[in-house]
Amino acid sequence: MSTVAVTDDTFDAEVKNSSVPVVVDFWAEWCGPCKQIGPALEELAAEYGDAIKIAKVDVDNNPNTAAAMGVRGIPSLFIFKDGQVVSNKTGAAPKAALKGWIDESI
């Protein structure tokens, strides 16, 4: 599975109502660290397959969701399980660190 683009309109359906855990990446096109972790998130999405979903929310085009989640810095990552946030972190990290964080959270 690849990452899924999520908008203000699709956030509840794709994230909160998901039957599998969801990693949400709040990012922006102009954000260097966001671009740095993008390929790692794509690789992790492929590795996890259908076990989890990795969603990406462009904060410039979807400010309501970012504001509702209290996002103040990007990249900002949240893990949702059964519609609830179980973990979050801000800032870029190497793929191995992201995988470890996901594994211990789900």
Instruction: List active site positions.
Output: 31, 34
CA distance 90 to 76: 4
CA distance 59 to 63: 5
The structure tokens 């190497």 sit at 94
Cα atoms found within 13 Å of the Cα of residue 68, Cβ hemisphere only: 11
Neighbours of 39 (CB within 10 A): 10
Per the CB < 8 A criterion, the answer to whether 79 and 87 are in contact is yes
